[in-house]
Structure 1
Amino acid sequence: MAKKTKKTTDWLQSAALRTTRLHFLYVGAYMASIIVFDSWNLLTHEAVSDFWTIAISLLVLNTVFWYLARMTFANPMVYQLLILLLVVADIIFASLTIYWERGLASSSVILYTVPIITAAALRSRSTLIATATLCAAGYSAAAVKYFYQHYGESFRVELYGEIGLYSAVFFILVGLLLVVVRPSKIGP
């Protein structure tokens, strides 16, 4: 029994380390895009400040998670918790970015793929479905809040159509990831 726990701990620790390492690249790419957009004066000073603050916040949080993931814990739940907290942080990060980029007019909906794929590292169907649900909730909250704070920038049918489309895509992505991370035991 102890060997199985050790293997689970090793596997989860490796997953936590890999996801946090890749998040350094994710935050770096996000910050590079802010620098490029700011150098071409595509963002206001307030927007640069907001985007940079949220990027630094995710960087600091990820650094703490990476440091903790490098430690050896006897309980594998520690590594699961680190990954789950990182997923929640990613969803908040994406939702704030969407809101600050004008809600449903934002081109950053792709950022929600990061928490969904990160959740796939746990190889749990329930975790993936819960993550897609939280992504759909985060996107709809950001889009609806922006829409009603800036009423008249778009149509209601467009708002709910976009929410429906992107929410469906989140769950389709989960279905595709489940094929990869939880293959059927039936077959060749």
Structure 2
Amino acid sequence: MTRLQVMELGHPVLRRVAKPITEARRTSLQPLMDQLIQTAQQANGVGIAAPQVGISERLFIVASRPTPRYPHAPVMEPTVMINPQIVSHSAERVKDWEGCLSVPGVRGLVPRYQAIAVEYTDRYGQHQHQELTDFVARIFQHELDHLNGILFIDRVESTQDLISEQDYQERIVGASWSTEK
């Protein structure tokens, strides 16, 4: 299976609102779902949205696991989410670092809801409802933004909250690793 090409900052598809998927079980979606999972894994991503590979449809993958980009991420099975939405959220918002396969080399300190209730259709056409918190809630919100033409750099409160990937790895990840040893 081939890894899909990830569209980068500046590509117009990343700024479009994606179209709803009317038939979640259509056969052409199944290979795309598998390719999205593989693309995220090969790129050390913890999520990926269809618009990131040039397909303007409301579909993304949440696939949290420790990677070189997110060494402290919790482990979960990759989850396909079709026509996802947030149905409720906590009042509390938490700022944390995010990166994006479509914005290589940059990290931003982004405020997100700490807890969310979500609904979506899974890859088998079944309606799902879940409560998500912390890092997995952050991934969901980040990927949902992709479906609405929003990038994480649009969510930072100040340009002071943007750093290079190299600085992030050295100062943030390196510091957190050294305090745990």
**TM-score, L = length of structure 2:** 0.27
As a proportion of its length, which structure holds more helix?
1
Per the normalisation by structure 1, the TM-score is: 0.26
